[in-house]
Amino acid sequence: MAQTFTSKWTHLPDISGAAIAEARTQAHFAVQWPGRFGRAYGTPAPDDSHTSLTWDASQSALVNGIEKQKVSFAFPAMTLTIGNQDVLALEGKTESDLRVWIGNYAKTLGLDHTLLDASLPYDMPPSELASGAKYGGKEIQAGTAYLEQLYGNAASLLEGVVQSDSRALPARCWPHHFDMATLIALEPQTSEESKSVGVGMSPGDDNYATPYFYVTPWPYPPANRLSPLPAPGFWHTEGWVGGILKVGDLSDQANPSATLDAFVLAAWKQAEDLLSQA
pLDDT digits (tens, 9 = 90+) for 9-25: 999 999 999 999 999 99
The predicted model gives 126-148 an average pLDDT of 96
The predicted model gives 143-147 an average pLDDT of 97
DSSP state of 26: H
pLDDT digits (tens, 9 = 90+) for 91-108: 999 999 999 999 999 999
The predicted model gives 24-49 an average pLDDT of 95
So what's the pLDDT on residue 2?
66
pLDDT digits (tens, 9 = 90+) for 240-271: 999 999 999 998 899 999 999 999 999 999 99
So what's the pLDDT on residue 66?
75
Question: Mean pLDDT for the chain?
Answer: 95
CB 234 within 8 A of CB 241: no
So what's the pLDDT on residue 69?
79
Split at pLDDT 50, 70, 90, the class of 278 is: confident
For residue 161, count other CB atoms closer than 10 A to its CB.
Answer: 25
Residue (of 261, 240, 242, 239) closest to 250 by Cα position: 261
DSSP state of 67: T
Residue (of 205, 133, 144, 210) closest to 176 by Cα position: 205
pLDDT digits (tens, 9 = 90+) for 41-72: 999 998 899 999 999 999 999 999 776 678 99
Split at pLDDT 50, 70, 90, the class of 151 is: very high
pLDDT digits (tens, 9 = 90+) for 162-191: 999 999 999 999 999 999 999 999 999 888
pTM: 0.96
